[in-house]
Amino acid sequence: MLIKKEAEIPSSDITDKKLYLNRRAFLASAATVGAALAVGVGAKGLIAPKIHASAATKLQFKPGSFSTNEKQTPLNDVTHYNNYYEFSTDKEGPAELSKNFRSRPWTVKVEGACKKPQTFDIDSLLKNSLEERVYRMRCVEGWSMVIPWIGFPLSTILNQVEPTPKAKYVQFTSLNDPKQFPGQQRAVLDWPYVEGLRLDEAMNPLAILAVGLYGDVLPNQDGAPIRLVVPWKYGFKGIKAIVNIKLVDYQPTSTWTKSAPNEYGFYSNVNPNVDHPRWSQAHERRIGEFFKRPTLMFNGYGDQVASLYTGMDLKKNY
């Protein structure tokens, strides 16, 4: 019998954990795969990934600027390796636990230090000029992905509410609903999830509010119906299921910074030469690959964002 070594097996070919735990389902799946291989059909793609989308809506979008031409992470990995503590601390858990999450009706309130505070309905936001942007994304514990997000610049709605000179930072808050979020029934973190950016970071054209990926609306496990994507920062900045955006004159304390201030600073480790206390950030492993690669300063987006940090000590301001 031919046994593949770990390095030879792409993650998309690894049997789903739930099938493994269910012996009958596992045997049936193995038989199907074996039959397919016998007639020359690859096992890959036999089972379509389960995507619990927030709405049955195809998005209208155009190719966006700033996209990388690097190989994209397979959809199955993007939708089954999710850091979403509101559902589960297990990265495989959110895909299943989010299947009944309700993302309609949904509004996002934008308020604080602005002249024209507004409440936006999610379906009105879907009518924005949407772009597909293929971004490198730094995940957790040295993992990374390349994801084709669909969204619009965060500055689009910030400009609509007209920030006042008092506005220095932007604070984001996610939905607080323990009935829908089983993870919020436990004090794993201080709920609801809160994140923040400096105003100039938020206004940078790279920062987007994502409403979809791979051509469709966001799957629930990836942050439906709307989430933040900041590609030059570490993954915990990608707050999901946003319900409130507030312009403030103080530096918001993000949920992870509050939980572990020595590990998760406000600036989200944009400098890979600053190690996380429990692992090095100098190298990362792309999901689906075996070998690591060097982690790039500002995740490779230095040309667009390095000027935001001129004169800052990025070891002190991690």
Q: HEC string of 212-248?
A: EECCEECEHHHCCCCEEECCCCCHHHCCCCEEEEEEE
Instruction: From 195, 201, 242, 194, select the one nearest 218 (Cα to Cα).
Output: 242
Shared-domain flag, residues 77 and 226: yes
Residue 155 belongs to a domain: yes
Shared-domain flag, residues 303 and 278: yes
Residue 316 belongs to a domain: no
pLDDT category of residue 304 using cuts at 50, 70 and 90: very high
Give every CB contact of residue 154 below 8 A, 6+ residues apart in sequence.
Answer: 170, 202, 203, 207, 208, 209, 228
Please give the residue range of the domain that contains residue 9: 1-47
Tokens of residue 217, six digits: 């609306």
pLDDT greater than 90 at residue 23: no
Shared-domain flag, residues 129 and 154: yes
Shared-domain flag, residues 3 and 58: no
pLDDT of 148-157, one tens digit each? 999 999 999 9
Mean pLDDT in residue range 263-281 = 91
pLDDT category of residue 14 using cuts at 50, 70 and 90: very low
pLDDT of 193-208, one tens digit each? 999 999 999 999 999 9
One DSSP character per residue, 77-131 reads HHTTS--BTTTBSSTTHHHHHTTT----S-EEEEEESBSS-EEEEHHHHTTS-EE
Which residue, chain included where needed, has tokens 């299947």?
Answer: 99
Instruction: From 145, 126, 6, select the one nearest 77 (Cα to Cα).
Output: 145
Q: Is 302 helix (H, G, I), strand (E, B) or coil?
A: helix
Shared-domain flag, residues 32 and 143: no
Residue 264 belongs to a domain: yes
Give the integer Cα–Cα distance in Å for 167 and 198.
Answer: 9
Shared-domain flag, residues 126 and 193: yes
pLDDT of 111-145, one tens digit each? 999 999 999 999 999 999 999 999 999 987 889 99
pLDDT greater than 80 at residue 65: yes
Cα torsion through 67, 86, 243, 206, rounded to 10:
-20
Shared-domain flag, residues 132 and 273: yes
Give the integer Cα–Cα distance in Å for 264 and 194.
Answer: 13
Shared-domain flag, residues 153 and 12: no
Domain final residue, candidates 17, 32, 47: 47
Instruction: From 6, 9, 89, 100, select the one nearest 50 (Cα to Cα).
Output: 100
Shared-domain flag, residues 56 and 22: no
Residue 32 belongs to a domain: yes
pLDDT greater than 60 at residue 235: yes
Shared-domain flag, residues 156 and 87: yes
Shared-domain flag, residues 58 and 33: no
pLDDT of 166-181, one tens digit each? 999 999 999 999 999 9
Residue 278 belongs to a domain: yes
Residue 84 belongs to a domain: yes
pLDDT greater than 90 at residue 6: no
The pLDDT mean for the chain works out to 86
Give every CB contact of residue 140 below 8 A, 6+ residues apart in sequence.
Answer: 83, 235, 236
Shared-domain flag, residues 30 and 60: no
pLDDT greater than 90 at residue 68: yes
Give the integer Cα–Cα distance in Å for 140 and 298.
Answer: 15
pLDDT of 184-195, one tens digit each? 999 999 999 999
With beta carbons less than 8 A apart as the criterion, state whether 206 and 66 touch: yes
* Residues, the chain: 318
Residue 211 belongs to a domain: yes
Q: Of 3-12, 125-134, 152-161, 215-224, where does mean pLDDT reach its minimum?
A: 3-12
Residue 148 belongs to a domain: yes
Cis status, amide bond into 205, omega within 30 of 0: no
